[in-house]
Amino acid sequence: MGGTVTAVSSNGKYSFTKPNRDGITLLAGLGVEGDVHAGVTVKHRSRMAQDPTRPNLRQVHLIHEELFAEVGAAGFTVAPGELGENVTTRGIDLLALPVGTVLRLGDEAAVEVTGLRNPCRQIDGFQDGLLKQVLGRDEAGNVVRKAGIMSVVIVGGVVRPGDVIKVELPAGPHRPLDRV
């Protein structure tokens, strides 16, 4: 099971979107070099307000490119980096991965999946009505979060568009992703 990196993005300042780059460097235990969300402890503003000493389980944000086509069918135009992700992927059902999955990105880097991104109102600030497209409910009434997954860097290295992604599932039983 695997896929491809289609884009990489980072931003050194707080902003909803992140510009695309030719490559990003992942730093073990920290995140994306030069990105505002890199660090051992939480860096997302809402999380820092709650408890700035908590571990940063949101070092690298990944989104599946297939989401852009899905929201496009509803009339929205979204491109890589515009939802704040660091790595845009193709060919992997990111949302179905269990906690603890290791994603090997290119020849060097590896991240461990920690959970789902919890979509926030900033998404509607980017495009009005988009939040309803990435946050919904299934037939049983359970909340479905589609805005990507979060991870921590376990092996550093450079990641570029076109890099192959290898998926290594953890030993079972598998624990489904929840928001982090």
Q: What is the CATH number of the domain that holds 82?
A: 2.40.33.20
- Tell me what the pLDDT averaged over the chain comes to: 95
- 179 domain residue, yes or no: no
Q: What is the mean pLDDT of residues 92-98?
A: 97
Please determine, for residue 57, whether its predicted confidence score (pLDDT) is greater than 90: yes
Q: What is the pLDDT of residue 1?
A: 74
- 64 domain residue, yes or no: yes
Q: Please, are residues 92 and 113 in contact by the beta-carbon 8 Å criterion?
A: no
Nearest to 105 by CA among 86, 119, 84, 81: 86
Percent of the chain scoring above 70 in pLDDT: 100
- 176 domain residue, yes or no: no
Please determine, for residue 43, whether its predicted confidence score (pLDDT) is greater than 80: yes
- 54 domain residue, yes or no: yes
133-176 pLDDT tens trace = 999 889 999 999 999 999 999 999 999 999 999 999 999 899 99
- Partners of 87 in beta bridges: 8, 62
Total count of domains within the chain: 1
Peptide bond into 98 cis (omega under 30): no
Helix (H) or strand (E) holding 166: strand 164-168
- 140 domain residue, yes or no: yes
pTM metric for this prediction: 0.96
Confidence of residue 82 (pLDDT cuts 50, 70, 90): very high
- 83 domain residue, yes or no: yes
- 118 domain residue, yes or no: yes
Please determine, for residue 124, whether its predicted confidence score (pLDDT) is greater than 90: yes
Q: What is the pLDDT of residue 39?
A: 94
**Which range of residues forms the domain containing residue 68?**
2-168
Q: What is the pLDDT of residue 31?
A: 98
Q: What is the pLDDT of residue 47?
A: 78
- 173 domain residue, yes or no: no
Please determine, for residue 61, whether its predicted confidence score (pLDDT) is greater than 90: yes
